Amino acid sequence: MMRWGVAQGIVILMGAMMPGCSGGRGPLMLTEQERASVGPLCVGDAAPPLAIAEWVKGEPVDRFEPGRVYVIDFWATWCGPCIASMGRTSALQEKHPGRVTVIAVTTEDRANTAARIRQHVKKDGARMRFRVAIDRDARTADAYRRASRESAIPRSFLVDQNGRLAWIGHPAQAEPVVERMLAGTWDLAAAAKDRTAAVSARAEARRCADALRAAERTGDNGAKLAALERLCSISPEENNWSPPHAPWMVRADLLREMGRSAEVGPVLEQMLAMFPNDPTAQAEGASGLVGIDAARAGEIADKAGSLLRSSEESREGEDDWDRWIRDAEREEHAAALQALARVRFAQDRAKDAAALQREAIARLEGSGYSAYLADMRKTLERYGGAAR
């Protein structure tokens, strides 16, 4: 959450490469060899059979019936995004009751016991309007998630009317794919090609991560820069950084450190073009441009501020997933507020800078980022002192 630096970027990268959802304790850990490979299960292959220890809710599914689409949704009781997306998945089940079968599959672990799963389904059954099953000894997770190299959850696997794996992705994004499958317009060959390219890109991102960590240990700035340049050439959806624009910011800081400041502006402009609607990317970019082009920095800061406020407004028709994303972003946007504060302070708008910094601090109170608060308060004192 503080100003970007190479070391911080590598810490964030290492965290982002870990499997499971934020804050989770998922049991599926891929080996280095598995993480570097495409895996034996690909889109277009026959869907593996389910291995179920217990059907907690709904009738058992013994086989994939021809003519029916199946949504196999992997989740856990400790996974906030999993729970938040279930209302949307339930709506999908209810929209096509005779043509689509949703099965929420969960694997037991120390924080996701069978008793806790049953308790959760009993308590939150109104949101879970579909079949719920407990995996047998992680056999279903291995057959789907491990075999496809998908360690994160929530994750949905769509099985088409012919029993073939047709798509893998986030359950909140499954509906348009299901609609196309039901309409007979889903291009399975194209989906298979896209999936192979995506998995290959992830493997390349992991190789870049390994190279970056190795270069950090040896202090080889040239190797660091080469790895970051490669990361910036990979689709943000596949490079596994959090936030997605981080490789560009870390690369810009490294160029400054190497005395190549003339190259910083173009890197930041590339990032701004890549993430035009991301308020944090725009705000961080504006902050990075302060010493390069003050007018441009102010222009981008104005845009970032508008994006930030707009993205946090509640909207009619929002579901649980939309609200979960918006609430999660409010905390994440503390970085944007800090970046905007730096820009406003550089513009001799200390009062505005102090207000933005104060808001950033308020958003992180009691959060996992509390270690940054002492430095943030010192910065606020500086802004406040200049404002008086």
pLDDT digits (tens, 9 = 90+) for 176-232: 999 999 999 999 999 999 999 998 898 899 899 999 999 999 999 999 999 999 999
For position 22, what pLDDT does the model report? 35
Half-sphere CA count of 14, side-chain side, radius 13 A: 11
Q: Supply the DSSP string of 29-68, one letter for each residue.
A: ---HHHHTS--S--TTSBPPPP-EEEEEES----S--TT-
Both structure tokens of 24: 């989770």
- Would you kindly state where each structural domain of the chain is located, as residue ranges? 32-186, 276-387
For position 27, what pLDDT does the model report? 62
Q: Where does residue 137 rank: exposed (0-12), middle (13-18), buried (19+ CB within 10 A)? A: exposed
Q: Residues 6 or more apart from 151 whose CB is under 8 A from it?
A: 19, 20, 26, 28, 29, 30, 145
Both structure tokens of 246: 């981080």
Q: What is the largest CA-CA distance in the chain?
A: 73
Q: Closest Cα to residue 282, out of 257, 255, 258, 310?
A: 310
Task: Return per-residue pLDDT of the chain as tens, 388 residues.
Answer: 333 333 333 333 333 333 333 333 456 888 877 877 778 999 999 999 999 999 999 999 999 999 999 999 999 999 999 999 999 999 999 999 999 999 999 999 999 999 999 999 999 989 999 999 999 999 999 999 999 999 899 999 999 999 999 999 999 999 999 999 999 999 999 999 999 999 889 889 989 999 999 999 999 999 999 999 999 999 998 888 889 999 999 999 999 999 999 999 999 999 999 999 999 999 999 999 999 999 999 999 999 999 999 998 878 888 999 989 888 888 889 999 999 999 999 999 999 999 999 999 999 988 777 778 999 999 999 998 887 7
Helix residue ranges per DSSP H, 131-278: 139-141, 147-148, 175-183, 188-218, 221-232, 246-257, 264-274
Q: Closest Cα to residue 221, out of 248, 247, 254?
A: 254
Helix (H) or strand (E) holding 236: none
Neighbours of 108 (CB within 10 A): 20
For position 367, what pLDDT does the model report? 77
d(CA 169, CA 61): 22
CATH of domain 32-186: 3.40.30.10
121-175 pLDDT, tens digit per residue, is: 999 989 999 999 999 999 999 999 999 999 899 999 999 999 999 999 999 999 9
d(CA 196, CA 168): 11
Both structure tokens of 93: 């089940």
Length of the chain measured in residues: 388
